[in-house]
Amino acid sequence: MKTPARRSKRIDQESEINVTTRVVLRTRKTNCSKTRAARVRPDYPLTRSTSESEMKLMPLEFFQIDALDLAPRLLGKFLRRDNVVLRITEVEAYRPNDSACHGRFGVTPRTAPVFGPGGHAYVYLCYGLHMMLNIVADKEGVGAAVLIRSCSPVSEMETIQERRGLKTDKPVLLNGPGKVGQALGLSTEWSHHPLYSPGGLELLDGGEYVEKVMVGPRVGIDYALPEHVNALWRFAIADTPWISTPKNTLKPL
Protein backbone atom coordinates (compact mmCIF):
# COMPACT_ATOMS: atom_id res chain seq x y z
CA MET A 1 0.00 0.00 0.00
CA LYS A 2 1.32 3.44 -0.93
CA THR A 3 1.15 5.77 2.04
CA PRO A 4 2.13 9.43 2.39
CA ALA A 5 4.38 10.64 5.16
CA ARG A 6 2.72 10.33 8.55
CA ARG A 7 1.43 13.35 10.34
CA SER A 8 0.36 13.63 13.95
CA LYS A 9 -2.84 15.41 14.95
CA ARG A 10 -3.91 15.86 18.57
CA ILE A 11 -7.51 15.42 19.52
CA ASP A 12 -8.34 17.20 22.78
CA GLN A 13 -11.17 15.60 24.68
CA GLU A 14 -13.68 17.63 26.70
CA SER A 15 -13.01 15.12 29.46
CA GLU A 16 -9.43 16.46 29.67
CA ILE A 17 -8.08 13.27 28.12
CA ASN A 18 -5.69 14.04 25.28
CA VAL A 19 -5.40 11.41 22.59
CA THR A 20 -2.86 11.63 19.79
CA THR A 21 -4.12 10.06 16.60
CA ARG A 22 -1.61 9.36 13.86
CA VAL A 23 -3.76 9.92 10.82
CA VAL A 24 -2.69 8.52 7.47
CA LEU A 25 -5.75 9.01 5.35
CA ARG A 26 -6.51 7.84 1.85
CA THR A 27 -8.35 10.45 -0.16
CA ARG A 28 -9.82 10.83 -3.57
CA LYS A 29 -10.29 13.67 -5.98
CA THR A 30 -13.97 14.10 -6.51
CA ASN A 31 -16.74 16.52 -7.17
CA CYS A 32 -19.30 17.18 -4.49
CA SER A 33 -22.26 14.81 -4.38
CA LYS A 34 -25.06 15.96 -6.65
CA THR A 35 -28.59 16.24 -5.35
CA ARG A 36 -31.51 16.31 -7.75
CA ALA A 37 -35.21 16.10 -6.96
CA ALA A 38 -34.36 15.09 -3.38
CA ARG A 39 -32.40 12.07 -4.60
CA VAL A 40 -28.73 11.69 -3.68
CA ARG A 41 -26.31 9.93 -5.94
CA PRO A 42 -23.57 7.76 -4.39
CA ASP A 43 -20.61 10.00 -3.55
CA TYR A 44 -18.29 7.42 -5.08
CA PRO A 45 -19.77 6.66 -8.51
CA LEU A 46 -20.58 3.15 -9.59
CA THR A 47 -18.43 3.63 -12.69
CA ARG A 48 -14.99 4.51 -11.40
CA SER A 49 -11.53 5.06 -12.81
CA THR A 50 -10.36 2.43 -10.33
CA SER A 51 -11.70 -0.96 -11.41
CA GLU A 52 -12.31 -3.76 -8.94
CA SER A 53 -9.44 -5.68 -10.52
CA GLU A 54 -7.10 -2.88 -9.42
CA MET A 55 -8.23 -3.02 -5.79
CA LYS A 56 -5.72 -4.62 -3.45
CA LEU A 57 -6.33 -6.61 -0.30
CA MET A 58 -5.03 -4.86 2.79
CA PRO A 59 -2.18 -6.83 4.39
CA LEU A 60 -2.39 -8.31 7.88
CA GLU A 61 -0.03 -5.72 9.37
CA PHE A 62 -2.37 -2.90 8.31
CA PHE A 63 -4.86 -4.00 10.98
CA GLN A 64 -2.52 -4.75 13.86
CA ILE A 65 -2.31 -1.26 15.32
CA ASP A 66 -4.25 0.68 17.95
CA ALA A 67 -7.95 0.89 17.07
CA LEU A 68 -7.74 4.68 17.32
CA ASP A 69 -5.08 4.68 14.60
CA LEU A 70 -6.84 2.09 12.47
CA ALA A 71 -10.23 3.83 12.48
CA PRO A 72 -9.39 6.87 10.30
CA ARG A 73 -7.26 4.71 8.02
CA LEU A 74 -10.36 2.65 7.17
CA LEU A 75 -12.16 5.65 5.69
CA GLY A 76 -12.27 5.34 1.91
CA LYS A 77 -11.42 1.64 1.96
CA PHE A 78 -13.74 -0.89 0.32
CA LEU A 79 -15.65 -3.83 1.74
CA ARG A 80 -16.40 -6.56 -0.79
CA ARG A 81 -18.52 -9.64 -0.43
CA ASP A 82 -19.08 -11.45 -3.71
CA ASN A 83 -20.08 -8.72 -6.18
CA VAL A 84 -21.31 -6.22 -3.59
CA VAL A 85 -18.79 -3.47 -2.91
CA LEU A 86 -19.24 -0.71 -0.33
CA ARG A 87 -16.99 2.25 0.43
CA ILE A 88 -16.45 2.95 4.14
CA THR A 89 -17.53 6.49 5.06
CA GLU A 90 -17.91 6.41 8.86
CA VAL A 91 -16.34 4.41 11.71
CA GLU A 92 -15.93 4.33 15.49
CA ALA A 93 -12.93 3.12 17.49
CA TYR A 94 -13.31 0.88 20.57
CA ARG A 95 -10.20 0.30 22.67
CA PRO A 96 -8.94 -1.70 25.66
CA ASN A 97 -10.03 -0.29 29.04
CA ASP A 98 -12.83 1.49 27.19
CA SER A 99 -16.11 1.31 29.14
CA ALA A 100 -18.02 1.34 25.83
CA CYS A 101 -16.07 -1.59 24.32
CA HIS A 102 -17.40 -5.14 24.42
CA GLY A 103 -13.96 -6.14 25.64
CA ARG A 104 -14.90 -4.74 29.05
CA PHE A 105 -16.81 -7.99 29.69
CA GLY A 106 -13.68 -10.07 29.17
CA VAL A 107 -13.57 -13.12 26.93
CA THR A 108 -17.05 -14.66 26.54
CA PRO A 109 -18.59 -16.73 23.74
CA ARG A 110 -19.96 -13.47 22.29
CA THR A 111 -16.88 -11.27 22.72
CA ALA A 112 -14.17 -13.84 21.94
CA PRO A 113 -13.71 -12.59 18.34
CA VAL A 114 -12.77 -9.06 19.50
CA PHE A 115 -9.84 -10.57 21.43
CA GLY A 116 -8.54 -12.27 18.31
CA PRO A 117 -5.77 -10.88 16.11
CA GLY A 118 -6.35 -7.70 14.14
CA GLY A 119 -7.66 -8.13 10.62
CA HIS A 120 -10.59 -10.39 11.45
CA ALA A 121 -14.30 -9.61 11.46
CA TYR A 122 -16.33 -9.32 14.66
CA VAL A 123 -20.06 -9.45 13.90
CA TYR A 124 -22.57 -9.24 16.73
CA LEU A 125 -26.35 -9.06 16.93
CA CYS A 126 -27.69 -5.78 18.34
CA TYR A 127 -31.20 -5.59 19.88
CA GLY A 128 -31.93 -8.97 18.33
CA LEU A 129 -32.25 -7.29 14.91
CA HIS A 130 -29.08 -5.72 13.52
CA MET A 131 -25.84 -7.36 12.45
CA MET A 132 -23.01 -5.02 13.37
CA LEU A 133 -19.71 -5.37 11.51
CA ASN A 134 -16.52 -4.56 13.39
CA ILE A 135 -12.94 -4.92 12.23
CA VAL A 136 -10.70 -6.28 14.98
CA ALA A 137 -7.63 -4.13 15.65
CA ASP A 138 -4.26 -4.59 17.30
CA LYS A 139 -2.57 -7.81 18.45
CA GLU A 140 -4.28 -10.95 19.67
CA GLY A 141 -5.58 -10.66 23.23
CA VAL A 142 -5.85 -6.86 23.24
CA GLY A 143 -9.63 -6.66 22.78
CA ALA A 144 -10.12 -3.71 20.40
CA ALA A 145 -12.11 -3.11 17.23
CA VAL A 146 -13.49 -0.52 14.83
CA LEU A 147 -17.25 -0.42 14.17
CA ILE A 148 -18.26 0.25 10.56
CA ARG A 149 -21.04 2.82 11.00
CA SER A 150 -21.81 3.85 7.41
CA CYS A 151 -20.86 3.17 3.81
CA SER A 152 -21.72 4.34 0.32
CA PRO A 153 -22.65 1.89 -2.47
CA VAL A 154 -20.14 1.13 -5.20
CA SER A 155 -21.50 -1.89 -7.06
CA GLU A 156 -24.53 -4.21 -7.17
CA MET A 157 -27.03 -1.55 -6.11
CA GLU A 158 -29.97 -3.86 -6.86
CA THR A 159 -28.59 -6.56 -4.57
CA ILE A 160 -28.02 -4.00 -1.83
CA GLN A 161 -31.57 -2.69 -2.18
CA GLU A 162 -33.01 -6.21 -2.18
CA ARG A 163 -31.15 -7.18 0.99
CA ARG A 164 -32.17 -3.95 2.66
CA GLY A 165 -35.77 -4.25 1.48
CA LEU A 166 -35.58 -0.63 0.43
CA LYS A 167 -35.79 0.65 -3.15
CA THR A 168 -33.85 3.91 -2.85
CA ASP A 169 -30.48 5.41 -3.72
CA LYS A 170 -30.59 7.88 -0.84
CA PRO A 171 -28.11 7.70 2.08
CA VAL A 172 -30.78 6.07 4.26
CA LEU A 173 -29.83 2.90 2.41
CA LEU A 174 -26.48 2.57 4.24
CA ASN A 175 -26.24 5.25 6.93
CA GLY A 176 -26.09 3.02 9.98
CA PRO A 177 -24.12 -0.06 11.12
CA GLY A 178 -27.10 -2.41 11.01
CA LYS A 179 -27.82 -1.31 7.45
CA VAL A 180 -24.24 -2.06 6.41
CA GLY A 181 -24.43 -5.55 7.90
CA GLN A 182 -27.74 -6.18 6.14
CA ALA A 183 -26.47 -4.91 2.78
CA LEU A 184 -23.51 -7.29 3.00
CA GLY A 185 -25.74 -10.18 4.05
CA LEU A 186 -23.77 -10.83 7.24
CA SER A 187 -24.50 -13.00 10.26
CA THR A 188 -22.56 -13.72 13.44
CA GLU A 189 -21.01 -16.68 11.62
CA TRP A 190 -18.75 -14.16 9.85
CA SER A 191 -16.94 -13.45 13.11
CA HIS A 192 -13.26 -14.55 13.00
CA HIS A 193 -13.28 -14.25 9.18
CA PRO A 194 -9.92 -12.88 7.91
CA LEU A 195 -10.50 -9.70 5.91
CA TYR A 196 -6.97 -9.84 4.46
CA SER A 197 -7.48 -13.17 2.67
CA PRO A 198 -9.07 -13.60 -0.77
CA GLY A 199 -12.69 -14.69 -0.87
CA GLY A 200 -15.70 -14.15 1.34
CA LEU A 201 -15.60 -10.73 3.00
CA GLU A 202 -12.58 -8.62 2.06
CA LEU A 203 -11.12 -5.20 2.90
CA LEU A 204 -9.63 -3.54 -0.18
CA ASP A 205 -7.59 -0.46 -1.00
CA GLY A 206 -8.48 1.46 -4.15
CA GLY A 207 -5.27 3.49 -4.18
CA GLU A 208 -6.91 6.86 -3.52
CA TYR A 209 -6.79 9.27 -0.60
CA VAL A 210 -9.31 10.78 1.80
CA GLU A 211 -8.37 14.35 2.59
CA LYS A 212 -11.10 15.88 4.75
CA VAL A 213 -12.23 14.06 7.89
CA MET A 214 -14.77 14.86 10.60
CA VAL A 215 -14.51 13.67 14.22
CA GLY A 216 -16.96 13.51 17.10
CA PRO A 217 -18.13 11.48 20.08
CA ARG A 218 -19.42 7.97 19.48
CA VAL A 219 -23.14 7.25 19.21
CA GLY A 220 -25.40 5.42 21.66
CA ILE A 221 -22.93 4.81 24.50
CA ASP A 222 -24.57 6.77 27.33
CA TYR A 223 -23.91 3.83 29.65
CA ALA A 224 -20.13 4.42 29.45
CA LEU A 225 -17.94 6.55 31.70
CA PRO A 226 -18.02 10.30 30.91
CA GLU A 227 -14.47 10.34 29.58
CA HIS A 228 -15.39 7.64 27.09
CA VAL A 229 -18.76 9.17 26.19
CA ASN A 230 -16.97 12.42 25.32
CA ALA A 231 -13.97 10.87 23.56
CA LEU A 232 -13.75 11.95 19.91
CA TRP A 233 -13.39 8.44 18.53
CA ARG A 234 -15.96 8.66 15.74
CA PHE A 235 -14.54 9.45 12.29
CA ALA A 236 -16.35 10.26 9.03
CA ILE A 237 -15.48 11.45 5.56
CA ALA A 238 -16.38 15.13 5.23
CA ASP A 239 -18.58 16.42 2.41
CA THR A 240 -20.51 13.17 1.96
CA PRO A 241 -24.18 12.60 2.78
CA TRP A 242 -23.50 8.89 3.41
CA ILE A 243 -23.08 9.15 7.19
CA SER A 244 -25.37 8.42 10.11
CA THR A 245 -27.04 10.73 12.60
CA PRO A 246 -26.36 12.76 14.62
CA LYS A 247 -24.31 14.80 12.15
CA ASN A 248 -24.16 17.99 14.21
CA THR A 249 -21.72 16.43 16.67
CA LEU A 250 -19.10 15.92 13.95
CA LYS A 251 -16.46 18.63 13.53
CA PRO A 252 -13.51 19.02 11.13
CA LEU A 253 -10.35 17.25 12.22
Average the pLDDT over 178-192 and give the result: 98
Domain 61-252 adopts which CATH fold? 3-methyladenine DNA Glycosylase; Chain A (3.10.300)
Helices (H) and strands (E) in the chain, counts: 5, 14
The percentage of residues in the chain with a pLDDT greater than 70, rounded to a whole number, is 79
65 C-beta neighbours (distance < 10 Å), count: 16
* pLDDT (mean) for 116-143: 95
Give the DSSP per-residue string, 141-158: TS-EEEEEEEEEEEE-HH
What's the confidence (pLDDT) of residue 127? 80
Domain spans of the chain? Answer: 61-252
Each residue's pLDDT tens digit, 88-105: 999 999 999 999 999 998
135 vs 64: CA distance, rounded Å: 11
- Categorize the per-residue pLDDT at 37 as very low, low, confident or very high, splitting at 50, 70 and 90: very low
Average pLDDT rounded to a whole number, residues 43-68: 78
Residue 224 has φ and ψ, to the nearest 5°, of -80, 170
Average pLDDT, rounded, for the chain: 85
Q: Is the pLDDT of residue 36 over 60?
A: no
